[in-house]
Amino acid sequence: MLFDSSEEGAEGGGPNIPCLGWIPGTVRRFPETVRVPQIGWNLLSFTHEHPLTHGVPPENSYTYFVNSYFADPANPDDVIATANYAGDFTAMVAHENIAAAQFHAEKSGELGLRILSNFAMEPTMTGTSGLASSRSPHETAHCLLRREERVG
Amino acid sequence: MTKAQQFQDNIDVAPADELAARLYKDQIDEIVFYDIMASAERQQIDLDTVGAVAQHVFVPFTVGGGIRNLDDMYLVLKAGAEKISIDSMAVRNPHIIRHGAEAFGRQCVVLSTK
């Protein structure tokens, strides 16, 4: 939804569905050669430094994916991390002050909670001093998840 | 949480949410929860326990047992499960798999056999 357009909803050779256009690029479906949706843990490869991944180990970082589509950013510098499923695909992306993850951070164990916590607390992410910094990453993630539930 | 031999003589081991929290801390990568009473005694699945487990677990969480229709699936997902596991009901009504997948997405309906 954050990208210019998406193949989701455009099946049958129709034109891509226009989206918000906040990150340049398109969203594509995985090829027929692999099982779709991808469901499971997959290994991240980090391509650019970013506040979202502070404290995340550079090696052996697995996150949990459930996806049939993947983002194909127009600008390779917007890619923070990739994973491999029918080739490398974008797992994390950031463009200006917008960042997104393809995997389910809320289902990716402590690593996922760390990323959620970074999203809320990293001063360079929020442009302020972040949320109350006395909270642990775990508590902050809980707050975010509760907020998400309320928003629905 | 119970321990059994050949699905008989279940012994209570620990409250499900406490054990789930411990397994999560030990870096388990997925949790599957079956309400073994719900299916056997045709009761409503224990949604309070599902919710209590979901509070502690930030990895994929599948719930099964006693799921008979789309309303049951909805309640289990709402309680915090990520996937629904269909077992005996899939034998009685195989269409429940497709109906569930159409209603909630094919990523969250699992067929289990045991």
Residue-wise pLDDT tens digits, A44-53: 999 999 999 9
Residue A130: its pLDDT value, please? 43
Give the relative orientation of helices A109-121 and A137-151 as an angle to the nearest 10 degrees. Answer: 80
**Of B27, B59, B106, which has the smallest distance from its Cβ to A64's Cβ?**
B59
CB contact under 8 A, B58 and A37: no
State the average pLDDT over residues A104-130. 82
CB contact under 8 A, A39 and B107: yes
Mapped onto helix, strand or coil, the DSSP state of residue A140 is helix
Phi/psi for B38 (5° steps) reads -60, -45
State the average pLDDT over residues A11-21. 88
> For the stretch B37-59, what's the b/e string if a residue is b when 16 or more beta carbons lie within 10 angstroms of its beta carbon?
ebbeeeeebbbebbebbbebbbb
State the average pLDDT over residues A17-23. 96
String of DSSP letters for A81-139? EEEESSSEEEEEEEETTEEEESS-GGGSHHHHHHHHHHHHH-HHHHSSS-S-TTS-HHH
Higher pLDDT, A130 or B104: B104
Which H/E stretch holds residue B24? helix B16-25
pLDDT tens digits, B55-66: 999 999 999 988
* Residue at token pair 């409503």: B44
Residue A145: its pLDDT value, please? 59
Percent of chain A with pLDDT over 90: 74
State the average pLDDT over residues B8-32. 90
A-chain residues within 8 Å CB-CB of B81?
Answer: none
Rounded (to 5) percent helix, strand, coil in chain B: 45, 20, 35
B27 conformational bin, left if phi > 0, alpha if psi -120 to 50, beta if neither:
left
String of DSSP letters for B31-45? EEEE-HHHHHTTPPP
pLDDT tens digits, A63-90: 999 999 999 999 999 999 999 999 999 9
CA A40 vs CA A36, A82, B69, B80, B90: distances in Å: 11, 15, 26, 18, 24
Residue B52: its pLDDT value, please? 95
**Torsion angle of alpha carbons A137, A142, A147, A149, nearest 10°?**
140
Pairs of CB atoms within 8 A across A/B: 25
Tell me how far apart the alpha carbons of residues B35 and A86 are, in angstroms, rounded to a whole number. Answer: 37
Tell me how far apart the alpha carbons of residues A27 and A8 are, in angstroms, rounded to a whole number. Answer: 8
Percent of chain A with pLDDT over 70: 80
Residue A75: its pLDDT value, please? 97
Higher pLDDT, B12 or B104: B104
pLDDT tens digits, B43-100: 788 899 999 999 999 999 999 988 999 999 999 999 999 999 998 889 999 999 999 9
Tell me the shortest Cα–Cα distance from A64 to chain B, in angstroms.
8
Tell me how far apart the alpha carbons of residues B108 and A47 are, in angstroms, rounded to a whole number. Answer: 31
CB contact under 8 A, B106 and A37: yes
pLDDT tens digits, A55-68: 999 999 999 999 99
Mapped onto helix, strand or coil, the DSSP state of residue B8 is strand
CB contact under 8 A, A141 and B58: yes
**Of A39, A41, A112, which has the smallest distance from its Cβ to B58's Cβ?**
A112
Amino acid occupying residue B34: Y
Residue A138: its pLDDT value, please? 65
Residue A132: its pLDDT value, please? 43
